[in-house]
A and B are shown apart, each in its own frame.
Chain A
Amino acid sequence: GAGVSQSPSNKVTEKGKDVELRCDPISGHTALYWYRQRLGQGLEFLIYFQGNSAPDKSGLPSDRFSAERTGGSVSTLTIQRTQQEDSAVYLCASSLAVNGAGTFYEQYFGPGTRLTVT
C-alpha cells in the first residue's frame, strides 16, 4: 500500500512569508508526528496527534509554528513569518497508535519537505 507522502518536496520562500507543509499518513494510522531535521543533524520532535486527543505541541519552537490534522488523516504544518533558521527538512511520520505498555509501534516516515528560507 501507499506510504506516507509529503508535499511539496521542496519549498523556497522569502523571509517573512508563511508556508504550509502537507502530510498524508498511511491509511488507518491514528498517530501522526512532525519532526524537523536541520542539515547534518538528528530529528527534533515538533508535535504529534493521536486519534481525537488533543495534540502534544510540546516541541513546537515558537508560536509561529502550528499544525492541524483534519478528519484524523491529512495534517498541515504551518510556519508563519518564516525566518532563515527555519530552513530544514520537515519530516512527517505515522504509526498505528502511540506506544502502550508492552506494545511498541513502528513509525513510518515520509520523504520530507526541504524548506529553504532566503
Chain B
Amino acid sequence: TQLLEQSPQFLSIQEGENLTVYCNSSSVFSSLQWYRQEPGEGPVLLVTVVTGGEVKKLKRLTFQFGDARKDSSLHITAAQPGDTGLYLCADTAIGQNFVFGPGTRLSVLP
C-alpha cells in the first residue's frame, strides 16, 4: 500500500516570507497532483506533474518533481494571506482511486 508523507505538518509564517513544503512517497508516483483546500471548501487542483525532474510554475508557486518520481516540493515566494490553506499532494494512479497525503497546513499572517 502506497504511503504519502508531507512535511511540515504545520507552518505559520509572516506575509512576504518564502516557504517550501514537501511530499514523499513510499513508491514511485504514477503522476502527482498538488491541491489547496481552504477552510470549509473542497480541495482545488493546483498542478499535475508527470515527468521526473519536471518543474512547473504557477505565479508565485513553483512545483518540482524529483528525478526518481518519489518526491515533490512546492515552493511559495513572497507568501500572502490568500495562500493560507491545507496543501495536499496526491498520487493519481491509473485506473485506481487517488491516494492523498495528510497535508501541510499553512497559515500566512498579515
Contact = CB atoms under 8 A, between A and B. Distances in A.
Interface of A: 4, 33, 35, 40-45, 48, 56, 58-59, 91, 93, 98-101, 104-107, 109-112
Nearest to B100: A43
A2 to B, nearest CB: 14
25 contacts: A4-B42, A33-B97, A35-B100, A42-B88, A42-B102, A42-B103, A44-B100, A45-B99, A56-B97, A58-B97, A91-B42, A91-B43, A98-B94, A98-B95, A99-B30, A99-B92, A99-B94, A99-B95, A104-B31, A104-B33, A104-B48, A104-B50, A106-B45, A107-B43, A109-B44
Given A35-B100, A93-B42, A107-B43, 15 more contacts: A42-B6, A42-B86, A42-B88, A44-B100, A45-B98, A58-B97, A59-B97, A98-B95, A99-B96, A101-B94, A104-B92, A106-B45, A110-B42, A111-B41, A112-B41
A100 to B, nearest CB: 6
B40 interface: yes
Contacts of A4: 42
A111 B95 contact: no
B93 interface: yes
B31 A40 contact: no
Interface in B70-110: 86, 88, 90, 92-103, 105
Interface of A is mostly: loop
Nearest to B94: A99
A99 B97 contact: no
B48 A42 contact: no
